[in-house]
Amino acid sequence: MSTWEVALLRRFGYNWKAATPNIDRLRMEGTEADPGMIPVFPSKTFPNHYSIATGLYPAYHGIVGNYFRDPNPGSNDTFKPGELDPKWWLGEPIWETVVNQGLQAATYFWPGSQVKKGNWTCESRFCQDYNSSVPYEDRVDTVLGYLDLPSRERPSLITLYFESPDEPGHETGPDAPQITAAVVRIDTMIGRLLAGLEKRGLDKDVTIILVGDHGMVGKSEDKMIYLEDLASEVLIPREWVMDYTPVLHIRPPPNLDVTTIHSSMARALTSSNMNNAEFLEIYLKEQLPPRLHYSHSPRIAPIVGLVAEGYTLAYARTDKPITCGGEHGYDNVLLSMRTIFIARGPQFAQGRRIPSFENVELYEIMANILGLTPAPNNASLNFAASVLLPLRS
């Protein structure tokens, strides 16, 4: 039996704004999380892709944001998209688990999959260098080509990544006509994939898992918060700020008292000098809500700020920040941050709806389907067994 996981990025709810016959077919023939799958916090691209791959919260797999600095003394290293040094990428992603246990894996642009660690060498045949200009049709056809290989060479796991509709969502916001067009395009690619499986007689054997990494919410000019407004109580130099929005990371020099700075910031939020102050919450990282699982990493700055849904944080008005379009990264409890989970295959019941769950559960689900022993992870005990049907002999 071939087993295949396909991950396609898409905001939860977009499919209802356009005709999506192929996604609808997967929904009818498989299992869906309703209302959507819950991302990990922060609901950003890189932390969530790697949580899906490892089953770990960001504090444990190390990718705590799309951008962050190495906190080790004397280091000026910064993590950013495209960083392939394995020192950043902790835990064991599913493709590494697959090859560790004697099977083949193929990854098409999945964030983190180009990192060579353990027994995963990112073999060029099965590991594509990221190139956003590659047409979506070519991506699907390459994946289908893997399934034409002899059974001993065929990957047991394949991941596939599309940028849409996230990219246009940032430019236009989640409700623009461009998003509808992007969703139709993704649905067409899913149709191409399904047709290719049927042509090969594999549609009953292959498991497809369709997921996104986060949702999206619109921004507006009247929902701005500026750090310069804290100056009546405390001055926060730019060099202390590791990231701005919608999760603020502040790392003061080690010779300063973090608690005192936090108290001054909290006091400034109660003053009349700060615009939209009630929509920013400032925490010492160890005092963040435990449900966020976002305290136990030195890569997380000692002071963390959370802005309310749809709000944008910038340093100064003279920075002229972008105040339109769409954003994500907010509290993962928000419905607007949820995304899609639809799975079809021999171990998923047809037409079933299951309650929302966090994406750290996916690693165990994939390992279970593939018959693998999972690496340590943050999945709930027995969750995968509650979702999957017994495998029929």
H or E segment and range at residue 304: strand 303-307
C-alpha angle 328/174/306, rounded to 5°?
A: 20
CB distance 368 to 207 below 8 Å? no
First-to-final CA distance of the chain: 10
> What is the H or E stretch that residue 100 is in?
helix 94-100
Long-range CB contact pairs, 122-130, < 8 A, 24+: 126/155, 130/82
Residue type, 83: E
Cis peptide before 374 (omega within 30 of 0): no
Task: Tell me what percent of the chain is helix, strand and coil, each rounded to the nearest 5.
Answer: 35, 15, 50
321, 10, 35, 61: which is closest to 187 by C-alpha?
10
Tell me how far CA of residue 304 lies from CA of 39, 214, 236, 244, 383, in angstroms: 19, 20, 13, 10, 31
Q: Which residue do the tokens 């920040």 mark?
A: 321
CA dist 346 and 350 (Å) reads: 10
Asked about 45 being catalytic, the answer comes back as yes
Residue from 45, 97, 172, 245 carrying the catalytic annotation: 45
Cβ atoms within 10 Å of 141's Cβ, excluding its own: 13
For residues 97 and 296, what is the distance between their CA atoms, to the nearest angstrom? 24
Are β-strands 352-354 and 31-33 bridged in parallel, bridged antiparallel, or unpaired? parallel
Spatial distance between the Cα atoms of 230 and 235, rounded to a whole number of angstroms: 7
Q: Which helix (DSSP H) or strand (DSSP E) does residue 142 occupy?
A: helix 136-146
Q: Residues 6 or more apart from 268 whose CB is under 8 A from it? A: 229, 230, 232, 233, 234, 274, 277
Catalytic residues: 45
